Amino acid sequence: MIQFQVEGMSCNHCVGAITRAVQAVDPAARVSADVPAQAVRVESGADTEALRDAIEEAGYPVKSVA
């Protein structure tokens, strides 16, 4: 599992946009989010950088990856 700290994620619409971006890279990816903590957890076999790029291209800067 990869955890991304994401700036600007403030509602379920944001979560949906991030989920769609991640699943465009890996349709089988499982995405969960903690909106107040601005954390997104992804279970995926895809490359971490590809996932990060997809989240950022959706308009949500990634502060850190764990």
Q: Rounded to 5 degrees, what angle do the CA atoms 29, 30, 36 make? A: 130
Summarize pLDDT for 10-65 with one digit per residue, the tens.
999 999 999 999 999 999 999 999 999 999 999 999 999 999 999 999 999 999 99
State the first-to-last Cα distance of the chain, in angstroms, to the nearest integer. Answer: 9
Summarize pLDDT for 19-31 with one digit per residue, the tens.
999 999 999 999 9
* CB contact set of 61 (below 8 Å; sequence gap of 6+): 6, 7, 8
The total number of structural domains that make up the chain:
1
**Global model pTM greater than 0.85:** yes
Cβ-in-10-Å burial (0-12, 13-18, 19+) of 39 comes to middle
Residue with tokens 């903690």: 34
State which residues form the domain around 19.
Answer: 2-65
CATH number at residue 33: 3.30.70.100
